[in-house]
Every structure is written in structure tokens, then in C-alpha cells.
Amino acid sequence: MSRIESVFKKGHKALIGYITAGYPDIKATPRIAAALAESGCDIIELGIPFSDPLADGATIQKASFEALQRGVTPRICLDIAHKISSKVSVPLAFMSYYNPILNFGLEAFCTHCQKSGISGLIVPDLTPDEGQELENISKTHDLDLIYFLAPTSTAARIEEVAARARGFIYMVSLTGVTGARKSLPPELESFVKRVRQKAQQPLCVGFGISTPEQAKRVAATADGVIVGSRLIQLIDEDATLSSLRAFISILRKALDSCENNR
């Protein structure tokens, strides 16, 4: 069982927090990650800044752009990950588009990820039919390659992801990009149930989750909740991270209440 898989103990609802590596600056990122872990996050998703983040909304695009302007590279992200993994016990997963990984070299990147304490890779623009090479290499370095499913995914794509994803399956709550939203689509529960019929892996839902009520609704049917844009907003609003800590604690309580109701 991988480190990421071990998070999903029977009945436990996982809270996964996304932050952009190097934002608001390189020194702050390990401190932010520690705040997430201490406040109740089970997994930290660490975004590698990229110039063309197609799946990300305005908030994360801005964070990625500013990190790039400060000279943050994949190698620096690896250094940041190493600092974080030496201070926190929760698993780390890199979120990166495929081009930076390919440019770094698949074998070299996975080797450095393992040395830096990374447990998983989330690659939004890598589909299973194009992912076999990275899949094979990541497996030899004990890295879970986490694939995506969207509400528009066909039955064939669901079956393919269910056969090959490791760690968990990242379920996109809606078609579009990341970003805090006032409401989630009404068909979300049926989407989760449709995937549940085919997949044995934990199912985690992201994109658009920004309130405890939304997180609780997701956790009623899914195994984990992924929150990103709202965390970046709170980091921008309060550099002391008090608001971030409080928000994570509230989300944790909301998910724990789902566990207690099982």
C-alpha cells in the first residue's frame, strides 16, 4: 500500500489541499504546507508553476504566473518539496502539466521526486492512452500516477482509468477550470456513483469546492475533497495564515461529521 493509499482508512474522508510551489514566495511555501498539515489536511498537492495552465482558473493562474516571475522552476519545486517532506508527515503529490516533466526527463524527474519525498503525480493534461511511459517509470519509483475523470468521461474512459490509476482517482466536479464557486452541479452525486460502479480506488472530487457545506456534500458520496483556489485566496488575504488554518480546521470538522454519520 502506498503512502497516499494509506490515507484512506476505512470510513475516513480525506482532505487534500492545493498550494502553488513558490507562491507567495519560496520561503513561505514550506510554512504554508506545515499549516495545512497541522490544521487537518491529509495530503498536500504542490503545484509546479507552468506558463500555460489550461485547467486552472484565474486564482491559481495568477499564483503560477507570479511564481514563474520569481524564477521558480521544477528543480526549485523539488527543493521546496524536500524541505516540506522533512517537516510534515502527510504525503505530498506534485501537480504538474506534462511538458515540464517531459522537458526535465521522465526518469530523472521521477528519481528526484522520490528523493524529495513526493508520493504521487497529478498531471491534468496526461490521458491514460498517452501515459503508459510515465506510468511505468513512476511505478518503479513508488510514485502514484493519479488520473482524472470528468462528468463528460465516457464509460470506456472510466473503465480505463479504473484499471490503471494509482493512489486515488481525481474527479473533476464540473466541466471548466478550477476556482471557488457558489454552488456545485446537481449531477455530482450521480457522477460519483457512476464511477464507483467501475472503480476500486478512492474517489476524490476537486474544482469549485470553497465552503464547508460544499465539502460536506461531496464527502457524503466521495472519499476525499480537494480544495485549492480558496486556499490561495486566504493566503493572499492573511499573511499570518490564521485564516487559512481556521478554514482548514472547519473543513476537517465538516468531513469528520460525515465519517461519524456513516
Q: Is 247 left (phi over 0), alpha (psi -120 to 50) or beta?
A: alpha
| Torsion from C-alpha of 111, 116, 120, 123, nearest 10 degrees | -70
Q: Is 56 a catalytic residue?
A: yes
| Torsion from C-alpha of 53, 180, 188, 201, nearest 10 degrees | 60
Spatial separation of the C-alpha atoms in residues 62 and 75, rounded to whole Å: 20
Choose, from 25, 52, 56, 187, the residue flagged as catalytic: 56
Q: Is 217 within 8 Å of 184 (Cβ atoms)?
A: yes
Choose, from 45, 144, 160, 223, the residue flagged as catalytic: 45
Q: Is 66 a catalytic residue?
A: no
Identity of the residue numbered 98: Y
Cell numbers representing residue 77 in the block: 519545486
Q: Is 81 within 8 Å of 117 (Cβ atoms)?
A: yes
Active centre residues (catalytic): 45, 56
